[in-house]
Amino acid sequence: MLGQSNYLAIVGGGKNPKFPQNKLIIWDDAKQKAAITLEFRTSVLGVRLSKSKIVVVLLNSVHVFAFSNPPQKQSVFETSDNPLGLACLDQKVLAFPGRSPGQVQMIELETGNISIIPAHSTPLRAMALSPDGKLLATASEAGTLIRIFATGNCTKMGELRRGVDHAVIFSVCFSPSNNLLAVTSDKSTLHIFDLSHQQHVTRRSQSPAPASEEPATSHKWGFLGRIPLLPRVFSDEYSFANAHFEMGGEATPGSPYVPPIGSSIGRPQKGLIGWCDDQTVLVIGSGRDGRWEKFVIREGEEGKRYCVRDGWKRYLGGA
């Protein structure tokens, strides 16, 4: 939560961890000392903080504590294997993998109500909540589709196609306005999707309007997307812009990438995404050539948008 408060969540990792990997330390940066320590029987794979909650992710469970000293355990939820420590938290909802692979459990924090979303048929690989908490994006191990769900009623708002071949999704992240979604994968490609169409269609389904007002979609195949009986890949929604990013020295574009158990804590992740604003995206790499890269979305001829790299900087001095 650094930036929102003076607290940091610290878990040991790497080849020579300073702290045990089964221990979570909440560090008070203002007082320069540990404020809270929580110990578990197995490795901590993920941590999410809000001003009122501490969420700790283990391989097969999610533990929810009140952010107090001492912290009070409020809930424990069982999950399917979750080696990447996937979980999303804001002030109203908590989302994490369900008991069956590909499912999402959605918890309303105020009421405790639990909803199950059958998001994918294969295990989850990435999840993200929108800044306003109204949208949830999920991707599975297949890596071909990203699905968007409304957190209010858990309905599917749309599908976004990254590609037709298998890929390992590294990161998904909403823009500050909730209208764009950035996705990175082991194809060494950053994709930018426009979500305004899915949100518009959902509102229109509740309040029909003349067909002439339907927005244009980002169909990659043009008129082929309107021909019936063709495979769905011709009518799916694709990214409106993409760009190459550097993954670091541990892998090459297109090579298999299989993260080890606990990699979300024990080593830097590849392709992490952060938005500065709706036109600027940062992608963080890892490996021997660890760097951050800055990409900007610009408008070209006839209103077509594209994404270009605008700068980069190494943050690691060696392997």
Burial class (CB in 10 A: 0-12, 13-18, 19+), 51: exposed
Domains and CATH numbers, the chain: 119-314 (2.40.128.630)
Q: Half-sphere exposure of residue 60, counting CA atoms within 13 Å on the CB side?
A: 4
Per-residue pLDDT of the chain (319 residues; tens, 9 = 90+): 666 689 999 998 877 888 899 999 999 999 999 999 999 999 999 999 999 999 999 999 999 999 998 999 999 999 999 999 999 999 999 999 999 999 999 999 999 999 999 999 999 999 999 999 999 999 999 999 999 999 999 999 999 999 989 999 999 999 999 999 999 999 999 999 999 865 544 444 444 444 333 334 444 434 334 444 444 444 578 999 999 998 866 544 444 444 444 444 445 578 999 999 999 999 998 766 778 999 999 998 888 999 999 999 987 654 4
Tokens of 82: 């979750």
SS (H, E, C) 268-281: CCCCEEEEEECCEE
Cα separation, 65 vs 33, in Å, equals 20
Cα separation, 119 vs 121, in Å, equals 7
Cα separation, 260 vs 255, in Å, equals 16
User: 161 near 236, Cβ under 8 Å?
Assistant: yes
